[in-house]
Amino acid sequence: MKLWDKGYGTDKFVEKFTVGNDRVLDLKLAKYDVQASLAHAKMLEKVGLLTGKEFLVLEKGLETIRETIENGTFSIEESFEDVHSKIEFELTKTAGEAGKKIHTARSRNDQVLVALHLYLKDEIKEIKENIRQLFETLIRLSEKHKDVLMPGYTHTQVAMPSSFGLWFAAYAETLIDDIIMLNAAADITDQNPLGSAAGYGSSFPIDRKYTTELLGFATLKYNAIAAQLSRGKLEKTMAFALASVSGTLSKLATDMILFLSGNFDFIRFPKELTTGSSIMPHKQNPDVLELLRAKSNKIQSLPVEITLIVNNLISGYHRDFQLLKESVIEAVDQVKENLKIFVFMLDNIEINDGILERNDTYKYLYSVESVNKLVREGIPFREAYKIVGKQILENKYHPEKTIRHTHEGSIGNLCNEEIRKKFNMFYQK
């Protein structure tokens, strides 16, 4: 069944190409199409386009379909183009003539769009919750290992003293920026496009504010063309938010891969969380982290992919938009999986103590501390810098390994409670 059926068929080759993977992807949108269809039916009754009896029949039919979705028995057979045609077919079977009226005053364009808005609203909430779990894991590890020193790096060279407390908390606070990006995406999804029809409204006296209230949207996309212009922009905004999260995860994975290497040996994992080599019996490879990095980097390319698909399209609907659904839905699922596996890995991380005491590799890590000590004794900074620099050049430098960091966000003052308060402030928005 096709919603645009006019009494003639489509070439099977063309149909297969145009339908693509929609039947599989639409299973994730099915419950949202039911939700939007129910709100639409209530509105049609309110404005007199459905009778009370017709609405009750449609409501019962939609609730039955919702139950099959929830218990996993709902399916979209090859005879249907997408979830929308399948649901309308099932409604017509159970509701008769009333089922044929459900599409009054709407188009598949706003039908797809409102389902995507509702889907992404829910997914953003779930992703934020997954981020919260990672955030709490990082803060807990920061507190647990706040006194364990490690080298900090600039230009991939040994730079200044750091700590595992500072390192873990750094990624925890960086997640707040990703929450802010997701909040921006959430604000864009929280606008009701239903009723914009094919992008030019309807001659029926529909009540779009009523469906906005029924569906729990904060506001509606008032202008019908603007509602359709959000297709592509909606997915691109979501892609930027997913890319932001993925950028954080990719960098954290890279740090951990480096710190796991034998040349560093800062951290370890139980052997059960690593993989082996086909020829080298000693190997315990960080495949999970490498795949996390690769999967995260792939998602970071998504905004560019979407931009190239929708760039320079004129206003109105284009079938090009169909390709966005697969990319965004798969990226949403992957980000959630990445966040969960990261929490699992961090729950099993092992920190090596005494890193800075192993050998002379980290001897010059304290050079800035030595300069600052001279400054506190009254020597101008630039002169103190030259004194320590000369000691290093002449191989006469002997560091005093005393760390005095007290300002906010330093080794000695992590401000983890302040970071948690900031996280909660944006998380609850």
Longest dimension (CA), the chain: 95
| Predicted local distance difference test score (pLDDT) of residue 273 | 82
* Cα Rg of the chain (Å, integer): 29
**pLDDT band of 15, cuts 50, 70, 90:** low
Alpha-carbon distance 410 to 404, whole Å? 10
User: Which residues neighbour 104 within 8 Å (Cβ) at sequence distance 6 or greater?
Assistant: 44, 49, 50, 204
How much is the pTM?
Answer: 0.91
Q: Do 426 and 419 form a contact (C-beta atoms < 8 A)? A: no
The topology under which CATH files domain 108-195+222-357 is Fumarase C; Chain A, domain 2 (1.20.200)
Report the candidate in 281, 214, 274, 256 with the shortest Cα–Cα distance to residue 351. 256
The answer to whether 183 touches 121, Cβ cutoff 8 Å, is: no
Residue pair 286/257 in contact by the 8 Å Cβ criterion: yes
**Confidence band of 276 (pLDDT split at 50, 70, 90):** low
Is the pLDDT at 1 greater than 50? The verdict is no
Distance from C-alpha of 382 to C-alpha of 400, rounded to nearest angstrom? 20
- Determine contact, residues 146/394, Cβ cutoff 8 Å: no
Cα–Cα separations (whole angstroms), residue 280 to 264, 267, 275: 20, 21, 11
**Measured between alpha carbons, how far is residue 176 from residues 14, 180, 216, 299, 331 in Å?**
46, 6, 26, 19, 20
The closest alpha carbon to 120, from 247, 28, 212, belongs to 28
What letter would DSSP give residue 414? -
**Band (8; pLDDT cuts 50, 70, 90):** very low
Q: Cβ(86)–Cβ(77) under 8 Å?
A: yes
Region 390-416: what's the mean pLDDT? Answer: 91
Whole-number pLDDT of residue 275: 75
For 51-104, the pLDDT digits (tens) are: 999 999 999 999 999 999 999 999 988 888 888 889 999 999 988 889 999 999
C-alpha–C-alpha distance, residues 26 and 84, integer Å: 9
CA pair distance 94, 87, nearest whole angstrom: 11
b/e burial code for range 272-300 (CB count within 10 A of at least 16 → b): ebbeeeeeeeeebebebbeebbebbbebb
Beta strands 267-268 and 350-351: pairing type? antiparallel
Q: Name the residue ranges covered by the structural domains of the chain.
A: 12-100, 108-195+222-357, 360-398
Beta 191-192 vs 219-220: how paired, if at all? Answer: parallel
Q: What is the pLDDT of residues 246-274, one digit of tens each?
A: 999 999 999 999 999 988 999 999 888 87
The tokens describing 411, both together, are: 């080794």
Comparing CA positions, the residue from 162, 164, 175, 168 lying closest to residue 410 is 162
Tokens of 360: 């002379």
3-state DSSP assignment of residue 219: strand
CATH class held by domain 12-100: mainly alpha
CA distance 306 to 164: 38
Q: Is residue 336 pLDDT above 70, yes or no? A: yes
Give the DSSP H/E element, type plus range, for residue 153: strand 149-154
Across 26-39, average pLDDT: 94
Percentage of the chain exceeding pLDDT 90? 79
To 5 degrees, how large is the angle CA 11–CA 94–CA 50?
Answer: 100
pLDDT band for position 400 (cuts 50, 70, 90): confident
97/114 Cα distance (integer angstroms): 24
Instruction: Give the residue from 303, 315, 308 showing the smallest Cα distance to 227.
Output: 315
